[in-house]
Structure 1
């Protein structure tokens, strides 16, 4: 039985804590928790924005999460899932937890003809995450991400 499942609204605080910890750990950013909570609530209220998935241990302890957000691709006439907001509790890292999440999402894509792929972005300095993604068969050779944020 898979330990991966869609997140429940009651897990919002856990997801918010994970996101604050991830931002601090990977980018040295201290995020406003209230803003994070509002952002997560918006996803639960509008599934068109995305969907959270969690990994549980002992059936109820959330040990990891990620967010998928859809992007329409006219070139592929289908939707690409972007993986975002990945977090695995430190004590569970290196045990294949992200691989479990990734394979779950990959299977969703394989089973739905309207879904055509998976993308994610990673901080340039996050070499350990890049190694994990490459080991799963992803590559970062095709695009370079640029952004402007208000």
Structure 2
């Protein structure tokens, strides 16, 4: 399957919000508020300083040899300043691949796309992500992409749900 990667547009907000809700339910058994997710996605798309979303598209057969391009996965980037290294970490977040397209290179294509962009962007010092402690499948996938456990645990003090 040929996979193309593009920047998300405001018209993609609904799909990205659906995928975000599906990912939260699948990975953390959390039901998120649709209006909050949609507002968050729209805010991220509107302000590149907050987030940058990418969408992977692949081919789907219509029968009779016809195919159509369909959106099959996404990831979002955010930035974190490192004074230790005088540069930005790019954080990979909100990763989701449609279940019907998993294990077909979608995540790998998204990752390689942002890796190339990061290496070409002055001041970017690397890529990071966090993964659920018990999500062994995701951990193996990220390891296969060349990422390694950085040895950190993440703590938080949430102020809203």
TM-score normalised to structure 1 length? 0.94
- 1:63-99 C-alpha deviation (Å, 9 max, x unpaired): 1001100111111111110000000000111112111
1:93 to 73, 82, 102: 102
SS of aligned partner of 1:86: strand
The structure whose Rg is larger is: 2
Q: Distance in 2 between matches of 1:2 and 1:114?
A: 28
Number of residue-to-residue matches in the alignment? 150
Between 1:107-116 and 1:82-91, the stretch displaced more is: 107-116
Q: Distance in 2 between matches of 1:21 and 1:142?
A: 28
Q: Distance in 1 between matches of 2:69 and 2:80?
A: 31
Which ranges of structure 1 fall in alignment gaps of 5 or more residues? none
Q: Distance in 2 between matches of 1:75 and 1:2?
A: 37
Paired residue for 1:19? 20
What is the CA distance between 1:141 and its match in structure 2? 3.9
Q: CA RMSD in A?
A: 1.4
1:75 maps onto 2:76 in alignment: no
Q: Distance in 2 between matches of 1:112 and 1:2?
A: 23
What is the CA distance between 1:5 and its match in structure 2? 1.2
1:29 maps onto 2:30 in alignment: yes
TM-score normalised to structure 2 length? 0.88
Paired residue for 1:53? 54
Which ranges of structure 2 fall in alignment gaps of 5 or more residues? 60-67
- 1:80-122 C-alpha deviation (Å, 9 max, x unpaired): 1000000000011111211111111110111112111000000
Paired residue for 1:145? 154
